[in-house]
């Protein structure tokens, strides 16, 4: 099997709502497609060599965990941004999403440093935005898909003018509860508030990330044959129905 190297950032701190399950999905779908996922935990003091990783993943955590790892993550920022510029893919969820921006300002007014890979910043809000979410996304021209997941955050994420959101909110709160958009996409990097974990109920996104990782490794974007995803599609449908019962965008 062909190897794909994944850097899992701070897995011992950022794993709220079973976000670690995203790695399990990527590993399984990679194996079904003839690739072997080699996952390397990256924590404090880690070294990131040029071109070593095809994909980076960072999960979610609460303010306490974010505060603990933010300085260490910031120290890895230059190497992570260099890896992105060289074509590595990224998936960042909730707290990890916030820290891939420039900063997160918490309830006390303290600013936790981000790495500035995504064009955004986040400030703590006064209300908690929680519940099932449904998005419309178009990561490839003409290929409109839906993403279903679960959000639970007080942070309000503000994208820079001209920045590309991950998707349009059909139901749920999204980045800030008012813009109508959720997440951020920059090239092969995706940030989102969707937990649950995200990838088991959205296998098309897992395959998109794997394809980007393969393209980094080989220089060519693969065309994957469809897999039998009946259970995954049912999980997506159940999650989407729950979101739709919320009666549209909040």
Residue 165 lies in a domain: yes
The C-alpha atoms of residue 104 and residue 96 are separated, in whole angstroms, by: 10
Task: Tell me if 250 is assigned to some domain.
Answer: no
The answer to the question of residue 215 being in a domain is yes
Residue 91 in tokens: 């998936």
Task: List Cα–Cα distances, 20 to 57, 58, 92, 170, 197, in angstroms.
Answer: 9, 9, 12, 26, 7
Cα radius of gyration rounded to whole Å, the chain: 17
Does residue 219 lie within any of the structural domains?
Answer: yes
167 found inside a domain: yes
**How many domains does one find in the chain?**
1
- If DSSP codes are grouped into helix, strand and coil, which group holds residue 234? helix
Find the domain containing 212 and state its range. Answer: 2-244
Query: Minimal CA–CA distance to 57: which of 8, 3, 100?
Result: 8
Catalytic-residue membership of 121: no
- Exactly one of 8, 121, 195, 236 is catalytic; name it: 195
Asked if residue 177 is part of any domain, the answer here is: yes
CB atoms within 10 A of CB 222: 17
Provide the pLDDT for residue 46: 93
State the CB neighbour count (10 A cutoff) for residue 224.
14
Chain segment 38-61, per-residue pLDDT in tens: 999 999 889 999 999 999 999 998
94, 137, 153, 184: the catalytic one is 94
Name the pLDDT band for 249 (thresholds 50, 70, 90): low
195 part of the active site: yes
Whether 249 maps to a domain, the answer reads no
Whether residue 70 is contained in a domain is answered as yes
CATH of the domain at 229: 3.40.50.880
pLDDT 10s digits, 121-151: 999 998 999 999 999 999 999 899 999 999 9
């Amino acid at each position: 099997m062909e190897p794909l190297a994944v850097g899992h950032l701070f897995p011992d701190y950022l794993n709220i709502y079973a976000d670690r399950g995203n790695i399990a999905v990527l590993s399984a779908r990679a194996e079904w497609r003839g690739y072997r996922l080699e996952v390397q935990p990256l924590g404090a003091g880690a070294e990131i060599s040029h071109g070593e990783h095809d994909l980076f993943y960072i999960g979610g955590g609460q303010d306490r965990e974010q505060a603990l790892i933010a300085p260490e993550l910031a120290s890895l920022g230059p190497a992570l941004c260099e890896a992105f510029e060289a074509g590595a893919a990224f998936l960042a969820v909730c707290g990890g999403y916030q820290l891939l921006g420039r900063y997160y300002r918490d309830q006390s007014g303290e600013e936790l440093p981000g790495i500035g890979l995504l064009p955004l910043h986040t400030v703590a809000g006064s209300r908690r935005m929680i519940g099932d979410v449904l998005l419309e996304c178009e990561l490839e021209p003409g290929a409109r898909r839906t993403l279903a997941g679960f959000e639970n955050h007080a942070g309000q994420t503000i994208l820079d003018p001209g920045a590309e959101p991950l998707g349009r909110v059909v139901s749920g709160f999204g980045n800030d509860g008012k813009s109508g958009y959720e997440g951020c996409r920059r090239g092969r990097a995706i940030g989102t508030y969707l937990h649950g974990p995200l990838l088991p109920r959205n296998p098309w996104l897992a395959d998109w990330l794997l394809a980007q990782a393969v393209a980094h490794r080989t220089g060519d974007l693969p065309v994957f044959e469809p897999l039998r995803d009946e259970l995954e599609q049912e999980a997506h449908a159940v999650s989407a129905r729950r979101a739709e019962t919320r009666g549209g965008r909040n």
